[in-house]
Copies of this chain bind each other. A is one copy, B any other.
Amino acid sequence: MAGSNHTPIKPVHRARLDNIAVVLHRPHFPENIGAVARACKNMGIFHLIVVDPLDCDLTRILKMATHASEDVVANMEVYDDLAEALGPFNYIVGTTARRGSQRRTVMNPREVARELIPISQNNRIALLFGPENRGLANRELKLCHTLVTIPTSEFASLNLAQAVMIMLYEIFTASAEFPPDFVPRLASSFELEAMYDHLSRTLAKIHFINPENPEYWMMNIRRFFSRMQLRARDVKIIRGICRQIEWYCEERVERLLREAGVNRVDPEGDCEDRFFGGE
């Protein structure tokens, strides 16, 4: 007790590793899964998820995992579908070697690691890695809240397990010497995707986006919202606005027609094409 008068303890905040999972999407080689399991164990991560692996040969996985990481392999979850695997996560970090193609902000591993310290206190985080040969496709990057690129020399293609190791090492060593910002629970991927569906329908209805190809136009909307860390209540507000737009239009139409003494002629009628939206 006496000592505490002389030594003010500076709290060091670190990421909550038990809230972080490594997600491998379509890995080709069981040896890489094993090497990733070992890297997880080295860096204090115990949650490994594999989605639609090309080969999940346990003998080859365990050879690279080594005896010490058997528990990580035993607890490994295997999914068929990426969206389902990511559903329960509140914050998804996508790794990509491609720069600029998405015109989205891409951070380096150290920046991401620092960002994850406060987020990890109350949220489940997925670190998402694509297949060895081609990385994450655009439709997969779309699911991510933030993107990270590992700085390299000209030859940017890293071995999968080594890329995982660099990310985990940065997270393991990152500590903030200040109280982390309180980050409330963020919307889960389930909630987010349902919101994007709803937005897509509403924006197509008001002809802000082309109903023929809503996914293309929704890319801008996704990029826009992925820059914020949307919380569950933000999602509720946005869906509330969508419902309200629909309600208002119907209500006005009904009332004006009623006042004019006219029966509805075309309750779901479309107006002529007039697209404002997208870019």
Q: Which residues of A contact B (CB under 8 A)?
A: 35, 38-39, 41-44, 64, 66, 68-69, 105, 107-108, 110, 150-159, 161-162, 165-166, 169, 172-173, 176, 178, 181, 203, 205-208, 220, 224, 227-229, 233-234, 237, 240-241, 243-245, 247-249, 251-253, 255-257, 259-260, 262, 264-266, 269, 271-272, 274, 276-277, 279
**In chain B, what residue has the closest Cβ to A254?**
B271
15 contacts between A and B (CB under 8 A): A39-B158, A39-B159, A42-B157, A42-B162, A68-B157, A151-B172, A152-B172, A162-B162, A203-B241, A206-B247, A208-B240, A252-B253, A252-B271, A256-B269, A260-B262
Tell me if B249 and A274 are in contact (CB < 8 A): no
CB contacts (< 8 Å) of A161 on chain B: these are 159, 162
A228 to B161, CA, bound (A): 34
Tell me if B269 and A255 are in contact (CB < 8 A): yes
Shortest A237–chain B CB gap in Å is 7
